Structure 1
Amino acid sequence: MLELTDVVAGYGSTVIVQGITLGVATGECAALVGPNGHGKTTLLRAISGLLRVRSGSIRFDGTDITKLKAEKIVELGLIHMPQGDLVFPDMTVEENLVLGAFTRTAAKRSRERIAEVYDIFPRLLERRGQRARTLSGGERRMLAIGRGLMGDARLIMIDEPSLGLAPVIVDEVYHQIRRIVDTGMTVLLVEENINRARSLARDIHLVENGTVVRSGRGSELLDDRAIRETYLGVSE
């Protein structure tokens, strides 16, 4: 569903993503893992049209989206859920969700879609009338993901869903993301923790210095002694 070929992107005169090629199959979950500051978030911004691609190409379900504006990419069903919560604090849970269905096609299905989001995140249904600022960190993360699903999503990109959350809350958030994956939604996940990533993703791409240095199944990567020592701190 998503195909990247030699994608290069960055900020100003600085190149961050240095020729990444990878694909995400329809109905699968893939993950980008690796140290912070090595280009994972920049790559998502390039895919979603928030950052100009300097060279290379990006295709979404056969359509070249390399030069499309972000709002056009959203209309195609490719949804980017950035780091952090980024909810509207003075709006209620339900108002935040409704804002996620801002495209014409999504608005037509907003009532149906909000019921689906509440089914995945029952905690949000319980809090539907509360202002977002009164939610816990985990609940705000769920709300941010739920709002993304409201956009008639066909592929969702989730950037660091565990960022800043206590381990017990991370477990709950990942449980809900697992429910999303199990519906057949195509997912591209960014996660620093390789063990978290492999609990969801079929394919894992290890990103270092703006390039993909290894790709494979989670078990394959963890069989590599160098990767275990570098990213898990396990020495033999």
Structure 2
Amino acid sequence: MLKIDGVVAGYGGTTIVQGVSLEVPAGECAVLVGPNGHGKTTLLRAISGLIKVRDGGIAFDGEDITRERAEKIVERGLIHIPQGDLVFPDMTVAENLQLGAFTKSAARQSKARLEEVYDIFPRLREREGQRARTLSGGERRMLAIGRGLMGDAKLIMIDEPSLGLAPVIVDEVYRQLRRIVDSGMTVLLVEENFRRGQSLADRIHLVENGEIVRSGQADEVLDDQAVRETYLGVAE
């Protein structure tokens, strides 16, 4: 579904992503794990067309999207849900969700898609008439994810869904993410917490200094003693 080949990207004169290559097969959940500031978010921004790719290529659903504009990439069905609670605070929950169905294909299915989102996040159905600014942090995170699902998505990229949330709220968000993954949606997830990422991943990619230093199924990656010591604090 998504193939990244030697991608280099950054900001101004600084290169952050240093020749990353990876693939995300259809129907799988791939997780990028690694320390903050090492290029995970920058890679998602390059994939979704928010910053330019300096070198390398990106193919989505068999088509080259390396130089496409962000809005065209969204129309293809590649949806990027960024970090934080980026919702429209003075709009209601329902209005925020409807804005996620702005492409022609998504608009045609918006009613059915809205019911699917409410089924995944029942809390949003309960709050549909409330303004987004009155929601809790966890509810705003659910709303941001739900708005992304309103698009005609073939693949969703979710950046740090647990960022800044209390552990009990993170548990709830991850229960709903489990439902999304189990539905067969193709997912590329960024998560700093290895254990959280492992709970969803078909495949894990460890990112350090803008490079992928280890890839594989979660159990395979955990067999690496250096990974266990660095990411889990487990020494033998």
TM-score calculated relative to the size of structure 1: 0.99
Aligned to 2:221: 221
Q: Which residue identity is paired with 2:42?
A: T
In the TM superposition, residue 146 of structure 1 has moved relative to its aligned partner by 0.2
Q: Which shifted more, 219-228 or 184-193?
A: 219-228
Output the CA distance in 2 between the equivalents of 1:183 and 1:221.
25
In the TM superposition, residue 143 of structure 1 has moved relative to its aligned partner by 0.2
Structure 1 gaps, min length 5: none
Aligned to 1:4: 4
- Structure 1 segments of 4 or more deviating over 4 A? none
In the TM superposition, residue 99 of structure 1 has moved relative to its aligned partner by 0.4
Output the CA distance in 2 between the equivalents of 1:162 and 1:42.
18
Matching of residue 133 in structure 1 with residue 133 in structure 2: yes
1:101-151 deviation line (CA, Å, top 9, x unaligned): 111111111111101100111110000000101111111000000000001
In the TM superposition, what are the counterparts of 1:45-56 in structure 2 within 5 Å? 45-56=45-56
SS in 1 for 2:106: helix
Output the CA distance in 2 between the equivalents of 1:186 and 1:225.
29
Matching of residue 230 in structure 1 with residue 230 in structure 2: yes
Aligned to 1:84: 84
Output the CA distance in 1 between the equivalents of 2:233 and 2:212.
20
Aligned to 1:179: 179
SS in 2 for 1:51: coil
SS in 2 for 1:23: strand
In the TM superposition, what are the counterparts of 1:78-157 in structure 2 within 5 Å? 78-157=78-157
The alignment yields a C-alpha RMSD, in angstroms, of 0.6
TM-score calculated relative to the size of structure 2: 0.99
SS in 2 for 1:199: helix
Give the paired residue count: 236
Output the CA distance in 2 between the equivalents of 1:231 and 1:37.
15
Q: Percent of counterpart pairs with the same letter? A: 77
Aligned to 2:41: 41
